Amino acid sequence: MSTEMAAVRHATACGARRGRVEFANSVRAGSDFAYYVIVSVIFLTVLFLARNETVEGTDVSVATFMLPGLIALQVVVAGAYGIATVLVTEREDGTLLRLKSVPYGMVGYVSGQLVRVVLEIFFSMALVLIPAAFFVPGLLADGPGALAGAAGYLVLGLLAVIPLGFVIGSVFRNPRSVGGWGLLVITAIVWVSGIFSPLASMATWMQIVGQFTPTYWLGLGLRSALLPDSAVLVEIDGSWRTLLTIVVLAGWAVAGFLLAPPLLRRMARRESGSGVAARREKALQRV
Amino acid sequence: MSSHTLEQTTAVQVTDLRMRYGSNDVLHGVNFTIRRGEVLVLLGPNGAGKTTTIEILEGFRRPSDGQVTVLGVDPVTADEHWRARIGVVLQSWRDHGRWRVRELLDHLGSFYEPYSEPGRQRPYPTDELIETVGLTEHRKKKVSMLSGGQRRRLDVAIGIVGRPELLFLDEPTAGFDPAARRDFHDLVHRLSDLQDTTILLTTHDLDEAEKLADRILILNHGRIVADGSAEELAHQVVGSAEVRWTQGGVRQVHSTTDPTDFVRELFAQESAAGAIADLAVQQPSLESTYLTMVAQQEVSS
d(CA B44, CA A18): 39
Confidence of residue A180 (pLDDT cuts 50, 70, 90): confident
**B274 shares contact with chain A (CB less than 8 Å):** no
Q: Which residue has the higher pLDDT, B145 or A195?
A: B145
**Can you name the residues that pair with B256 across neighbouring β-strands?**
B241
Residue B120, φ and ψ in degrees, nearest 5:
-140, 85
CA distances from A244 to A68, A156, A190, B176, B298 (A): 18, 13, 21, 62, 71
CA distances from B82 to B53, B58, B66 (A): 18, 10, 20
Confidence of residue B59 (pLDDT cuts 50, 70, 90): very high
pLDDT value at residue B1? 44
User: ipTM of this model?
Assistant: 0.89
A6 → closest Cβ in B51, B98, B114:
B114
Q: Between chains, do A98 and B90 touch, taking CB under 8 Å as contact?
A: yes
pLDDT value at residue A141? 66
Q: Which residue has the higher pLDDT, B69 or B119?
A: B69
Lowest mean pLDDT among A127-131, A143-147, B285-289: B285-289
d(CA A264, CA A106): 9
**How confident is the model over B125-133, as a mean pLDDT?**
92
Residue of A5, A21, A23, A101 to mutate when probing chain B, most B C-beta within 10 A: A101
Residues of chain A with C-beta less than 8 angstroms from the C-beta of B167: none
What percent of chain A stands above pLDDT 90? 60
Confidence of residue B53 (pLDDT cuts 50, 70, 90): very high
Residues of chain A with C-beta less than 8 angstroms from the C-beta of B108: 98, 102, 105
Q: Are A84 and A178 in contact (CB under 8 A)?
A: yes
First CA to last CA distance, chain A? 51
d(CA A141, CA B107): 45
**How confident is the model over A211-216, as a mean pLDDT?**
92
- Kindly report, residue by residue over B232-257, the tens digit of the pLDDT: 887 776 667 888 999 888 898 888 88
Residues of A within an 8 Å Cβ radius of B: 3, 6-7, 10-11, 14, 17-18, 21-22, 25-26, 28-29, 90, 93-95, 97-98, 100-105, 108, 271-274, 276-277, 280
Asked whether the whole model's pTM tops 0.95, one would answer no
- Kindly report, residue by residue over A82-131, the tens digit of the pLDDT: 999 999 999 988 899 999 999 999 999 999 999 999 999 999 999 999 99
At residue A247, the 3 state secondary structure works out as helix
**Can you name the residues that pair with B12 across neighbouring β-strands?**
B34, B70
